[in-house]
Structure formats: C-alpha cells, structure tokens
Structure 1
Amino acid sequence: MKRILIICISLVIVLFAAGYLCLKFLPPFTAIQSASAMENQIVLVDVGNNYPFGDIQIQDVMVNNNSKPSKAKVQVSNHSKGFIISDNFDGEEAREYSFKDLDEVMLKPKTNPKEQLKEVNEGKADKAAIIYAITLSHEEPVHKVIIKYRYLFYEGEMELSID
C-alpha cells in the first residue's frame, strides 16, 4: 500500500514537472509584429493563444529597456473588420473598434495569429473569428516589446524585437 502511494505521488510530481517544461519550451502565448507608424512610436502586435484549452491573461507590457509605454490597449476584433493603427483610442476613427485595458481581455484558445492568417489566405477562415492585437504608443521609437502573461498556473514572458 505504501509503495502504491509513493508511486502515485511520484507520478503526480513527474506530470507537473513535464507540464511546466512543456509550457516553458512550447509556450501557449504567441505574438507577432503586425504594423507600426510614426517611426515605430506606435506599434501593433498581433497576439493569441496556441493551446486548445485555457485562457491567457496579459499581465503587463513593457517596451525597450523595461519602460512602460505611454499607452497600451488590446484591440478585440474579427477578420472582417481587422485592426486600426492609432494611439487615439477615443478618436472618431477608433470608435468603430474595440479597445480594452490589458486586464480586461482573456485570450481565448486557438487564437494563434499565424494560424488564423494561414486560414484566411487559404479561404478557410471564419470571418467572425475573434482576433487580438496589442496597440501601444511610446514617446520614443519602440525597438523591443516585452509581454508578461499568465496561463493557468504558469507565468510567462515573451520578448519581441520590432523592426
């Protein structure tokens, strides 16, 4: 009986360790630079969730040398509408788009922007599928974006170089 208990506890520990390593080396969060304006002072980063279950919560966004961007919001849209590149979230053009605070949005499963773009190009995409992008602006050109996120029990960080 004691041996079975030890085997079960060991198995649970191994499964948790394997899950953690999987999250570390195959992260659920993905981000790609989509667009920029004003010499990289405004940057649009498409973000999504690679995994088929569980939501991702964006915790924080920083730029360059761990500075806070002047403004940062998440756009929630669909393939038909797309995104807008603007730092004026309350402007007339931006009113047609949905800008939310970072902590208001949970990235749903299977929202990898690369996979979604592939489906669009192949004509297989659902035009109403949800897409996400982080829009940020900064007083200096942005060269690097650091996004901290939480997925289940795992807290991760992704660094993205901006061209």
Structure 2
Amino acid sequence: MKKKIWFSVLILVIVIGGLYSLVKFNPPEIGTLASSEDKKSVVVGIGNKGFLEVKNLDVSVNNNEKPSKLKVQKSDAVQGFIITDDFENQESEKYGFKNIGDIVLKKGTAPSSYFNKLDDGTATKDDEIYGVSVIHHEAIFKVDIRYSYLGISFNETVFFN
C-alpha cells in the first residue's frame, strides 16, 4: 500500500513539474522594438506562443514608473505598428488602440510566427499582432511588462539604447 502512495505522489510531482516547465519555457514572446527619435514614445511587439490566452498585463518604464500614456495596438501583420505620441489622431485610429486592461493576447500570435509569414510572403490581414505602445514625459530606456499565465507570474524587460 505504501508503494502505491509513493508511486502516486511521484507521478503527481512529475506531472506538476512537467506542466510548470512547459508554461515557464513557453511564455509570451517579445518581438518588435521601435521608438521615436526622442525615445518618449515606444512600441514593444508582444505575442502568445502558449496554448491559452494571456491576460492581466501591467507595464512600467525606466525605474518602475507609471507611463504617461499606455495602450495596446491590435493590428495585423500586413499593416504593422505605428509609433505615435497621440493615440487619438486620425492616423492612429487605424491601428486598433485598446486600453491595456481590455486586451487578451490570443494564442498563436507569437512574433516569430508572423515574422516567418512576412518572410514567406504568406502574411494576411487575419494575422493578429499586438504591440504595447508607451508614451512618457521623458526618454524611455527600459520597459517592464508583467503578466500572469496559468497562475505563474512573468516579467519581461526590454531596453532601448
């Protein structure tokens, strides 16, 4: 009887460890990094290569500061992203800016997959891409993106030189 219990515990530990490893090593991806000349407006392309949607994004800049303005662009792989200092102008409207709390990163939207499609010439307007657009009152040198995926917290940091 003790052997069955230990065997069951061992199997449970292996399954939980395997799932944790799968999630930890397949986090959402960072793709495009672009900025305005003065670095006060940046775009960080993000996507989800996992098997479930990603929610609960949180973003800070530089030394853990709250950005002046923050939106997520939901665009398509053909159109791409826009770097802007005004989310409300007519040009920006085409890029599907959403509040960060209203966006869910759908599975299968990893930047590496749409870069491959762009290279192959198979990208279409149906290929959704997401970009975190940040505007700040001073130059941005670092963007921290935090999110939760299957109950595990992740933090991705990108630097702008």
TM over 0.5: yes
Structure 1 length-normalised TM? 0.89
Q: CA deviation at 1:21?
A: 3.4
Q: What residue in structure 2 maps to residue 56 of structure 1?
A: 54
Structure 2: which 5+ residue stretches go unaligned? none
Give the drift of 1:81: 2.6
Give 1:47's aligned residue.
46
CA RMSD of superposed structures (Å): 1.7
Q: How many residues align?
A: 161
User: How many angstroms apart in 1 are the aligned matches of 2:86 and 2:98?
Assistant: 13
The runs of 4+ residues in structure 1 deviating greater than 3 Å are: 21-24
Task: Answer whether contact 1:62 1:69 (CA < 8 A) is retained.
Answer: yes
Deviates more, 1:116-125 or 1:10-19: 10-19
Counterpart in the other structure of 2:18: 18
> In the aligned structure 1, how far is the partner of 2:151 from the partner of 2:93?
35
Q: Is 1:68–2:72 an aligned residue pair?
A: no
The 1:127/1:140 distance shift into structure 2, 3 A limit, reads same
Q: Give me the whole-angstrom Cα distance separating, in 1, the residues matched to 2:84 and 2:105.
A: 21
Query: Percent identity over the alignment?
Result: 33
Q: Which residue of 2 aligns with 1:113?
A: 111
132, 135, 138: which one aligns with 2:136? 138
**C-alpha distance in structure 2 between counterparts of 1:84 and 1:58, whole Å:** 23
Q: State whether structure 2 residue 86 is matched by structure 1 residue 77.
A: no
Q: TM-score w.r.t. structure 2 length?
A: 0.90
